[in-house]
Amino acid sequence: MQKISQSSNNKTFLLYIFIAYTFSILIRLIWVYQFQDNPNFYWNNHLMINTNDGYAYAEGARDMLAGFHQDNDLSYYGTALSSVTYLLAKILPFSFETIILYMPAFFGSLLVIPVMLIARVLKEDILGLIAGLITGIVWSYYNRTMTGYYDTDMLTIVLPTFVLYALILNIKEERNRYLLLIPIFIIAYSWWYAQSYSLNLAMAFMVLIYTVIFEREKLFNYKILIFMFIAMSYFPWTYKILASLALFVAFHFVKHSNSKRVVFTLLLVAFALILLTGGLNPILYQIKGYIFREAIAGDLDFNLHFFGVTQTVREAGQIPFEVFADRISGHTLTFFLSITGYALLAFRYRIMLLALPMLGLGFLAYQGGLRFTVYAVPVMALGMAYFIIYTASMLEKFIHKDRALSITKKAYISIFTLLVLYPNILHVIQYKVPTVFSKQEVEILDKLHKIADREDYVLSWWDYGYPIRYYADVKTLIDGGKHSGKDNFPVSFALTSPPMAAANMSRLDVEYTERSFKEKFNSNLIQEMKDYNSTDVNKFLSSLFSSDFNPPKPTRDIYFYLPMRMLNIFPTVALFSNINLLTGKQIQRPFFYSTSSFKDDGGVLYLGNGIVLDKRKGLIRLGKQEVPLAQFITVGYDEKGVLRKGVQNIQMMGQLSLIFMKSYNQFLLLDNRMLNSLYIQLFVLENYDKDLFELVIDSPHAKVYKLKR
């Protein structure tokens, strides 16, 4: 096959990069355009971010700018993203909110650069331009690097793609001066993303396999492995940089150091450093966490079993093939064409086999969860670009005039590229992700910030942990990074139990969490049982329902943040405490059903999903089953914002209750256990013991209560 595209001059290549990078950023500005006139998405005259985890890094950067943070507040002070944000906030003339909003767009779009540099090494610049245009906006990559998606994902794929570029460049060019790029990118990737080790190791072994099969006599490839292993070892990064510099000087200026004996000795030493510093531990941990996805975690002391969070996280679950293909390539057809293109590219340039670890990790998403799909995006984009170029070259068989052939090729490549881009751009337009919280919800947390002390705790579900800490500047029990089964259990127990049990559990978990920072408990619950001389976990938990239980002496205040949005996930919240801790088996799940889609047909109320209320008989039909209705409750806010309630008792032996939340136009059908839960009693019904709780913030969007014991 005739050479498809020659390497252009440097100015043209830089222009290509500028075009692809600018295109990627402009596409990400569509989200800003769509929501720029929505006041609910603004706080302090700035658009808010749209990912929960982003508030963890924003909190860390904010604390770094302040120069301090509270002991044991779980702040991300000093983490990579927080540190970079802190630096940018110091040197750029933009507000902090503007920086965290747009960082993902500008940093995430950097992926086009290593992709295009890889094509540059292959002397295929047009290939690089096409791949750059595609890779920046593919579904899954866009979703995790869009404007407002302030998270480490903005460089999590960029950096390993730079590592891949450094490997390809070194193997192709065989020049010592390029060797330092390898440890620079690997160390940067490891600093930025703690879970980078497995992919780095896979890429190292891919280099080894490639060398053994194709270039076993090329000594330079083993030098590459030495630099990789040193950069991956668990030593301080300063030591690794110094070691890499020393080796670079030796290889570059000392001829004796380039002998086979010296190189292989150094290779063995470098690999030994990997093993001696616990190199296999991260791999085993990730395999356990994402491949096997265990539902429970055991504790050796009391043999307690907690519900695992990974089964409730969509990104850690199996996904349909169509979703898998769309997220990697934008369309199922494009997916298969990209695979074909990558096979052709690897056949033409076997050095592209080094991309298999990234491609394989991306394909792991089909079984391991959609979060992995982004790893395959740059490789598949290169594959799709090569397929376009390769098929364009076949036009030579039909068109023999040079000018006509040139025009036809350019038209073909342009149209084909636009067709590939179209479903991805359409997805961007349709992917209208809201901000994490609305303006009204942030106003509530801002009020709480003025009420609560930094040492106080706010109890809520882990989804809201980071934003609560950022806006209210308080402590939380669980968040997006601390939500193991043993951490989630007490919070779930508190939210889904009657108010008395919730109060006792909340005080226990807060005080024992504080103690645990010094005493290093394996589990708060186990330590509580030891201190209360209890060996039966079920009896201990039952004791919390009594007003006679003696909780620890308060050392700080506790607030309950109960948002309206928790209704959508309340059954999931209940899962974490709806478990027999001795056996790890789920208890019979409580009944909870919420709907805003209903039809009132006189004597019959249709609630959807085959659930019907026969008003005359006072019966709920669940499919073919008939269940007596205990009571019908109506709640709604009057013109003054006061919650008004009406209760109609239906059947004394009823098993379910129906609540109509008039202000939200929403029905709740639930059993007695859910009806009596803290969340329903305090948020929905505002039924609470004033000696136990104090309503400090009352809003239709969220309510905040203070524990008074």
Q: What is the pLDDT of residues 364-375, one digit of tens each?
A: 888 767 788 999
pLDDT tens digits, residue range 57-82?
Answer: 999 999 999 998 988 999 999 999 99
Indicate if the pLDDT at residue 690 is higher than 50.
Answer: yes
The number of residues in the chain equals 709
Give residue-wise pLDDT tens across range 327-351.
999 999 999 999 999 999 999 999 9
Residue 5 has pLDDT above 60, yes or no: no
Decide if 120 contacts 13 (C-beta within 8 A). Answer: yes
Transcribe 132-175 into DSSP letters.
HHHHTT-HHHHHTTSTT--STHHHHTHHHHHHHHHHHHHHHH--
Residue 311 banded pLDDT, cuts 50, 70, 90: low
- In this structure, what token pair is assigned to residue 628? 């007596």
- What is the average per-residue pLDDT within 217-239? 93
Task: Please give the pLDDT value at position 282.
Answer: 65
Instruction: Return d(Cα 237, Cα 37) in angstroms, integer.
Output: 46
Provide the pLDDT for residue 365.
83
pLDDT grade for 1, boundaries at 50, 70 and 90? very low
* Residue 502: pLDDT band with limits 50, 70, 90: very high
Mean pLDDT of all residues in 472-486: 93
Q: What is the mean pLDDT of the chain?
A: 92
Under 8 Å between Cβ of 439 and 551: no
DSSP label of 588: P
Band of pLDDT at residue 584, cut at 50, 70 and 90: confident
Query: Any idea which residue has 């203070």 for tokens?
Result: 706
Task: Report pLDDT for 280.
Answer: 65
Q: Using a pLDDT cut of 90, give the percent of the chain over it.
A: 80
Task: Count Cα atoms within 13 angstroms, Cβ side, for 398.
Answer: 7
- HSE-CB for 567 with a 13 A CA cutoff: 24
CB 186 within 8 A of CB 228: yes
Contact yes or no for 330/139 (Cβ under 8 A): yes
Compute CA 50 distance to the chain's CA centroid, rounded to the nearest angstrom. 12
Q: Provide the pLDDT confidence category of residue 395 given band limits of 50, 70 and 90.
A: confident
Contact (Cβ atoms closer than 8 angstroms) between residue 204 and residue 185: no
Residues 6+ apart with CB under 8 A from 522: 299, 301
Largest CA distance in the chain: 96
Question: Using one digit for the tens of pLDDT, what is the confidence trace for 253-275?
Answer: 887 778 889 999 999 999 988 88
d(C-alpha 477, C-alpha 5), whole Å: 57
Judged by DSSP in three states, 47 sits in strand
Residues 340, 342, 343, 344: is their CA dihedral positive or negative?
positive
Full-model pTM: 0.91
- 296 pLDDT tier (thresholds 50, 70, 90): very low
Instruction: Enumerate domains of the chain plus CATH numbers.
Output: 10-48+94-430 (no CATH), 439-558 (3.40.1380.40), 592-707 (no CATH)
Q: Each residue of 113-150: pLDDT tens digit?
A: 999 999 999 999 999 999 999 999 999 999 999 999 99
Q: Are 664 and 638 in contact (CB under 8 A)?
A: no
Please give the residue that has the higher pLDDT: either 315 or 206. Answer: 206
Nearest C-alpha neighbor of 388 from the set 612, 173, 10, 124: 124
Which distant-in-sequence residues (6+ apart) come within 8 Å of 244 by Cβ?
Answer: 180, 183, 227, 230, 231
The answer to whether residues 606 and 612 touch, using CB atoms and an 8 Å cutoff, is yes
CA distance 681 to 692: 13
DSSP 17-39: HHHHHHHHHHHHHHHHHHHTT-G
For residue 500, give the H/E element and its range.
Answer: helix 499-519
Q: How far apart are CA 231 and CA 210, in angstroms?
A: 20
CB-count burial class (<10 Å; 0-12, 13-18, 19+) for 106: middle
- Residue 7 backbone zone (phi > 0: left; psi -120 to 50: alpha; other: beta): beta
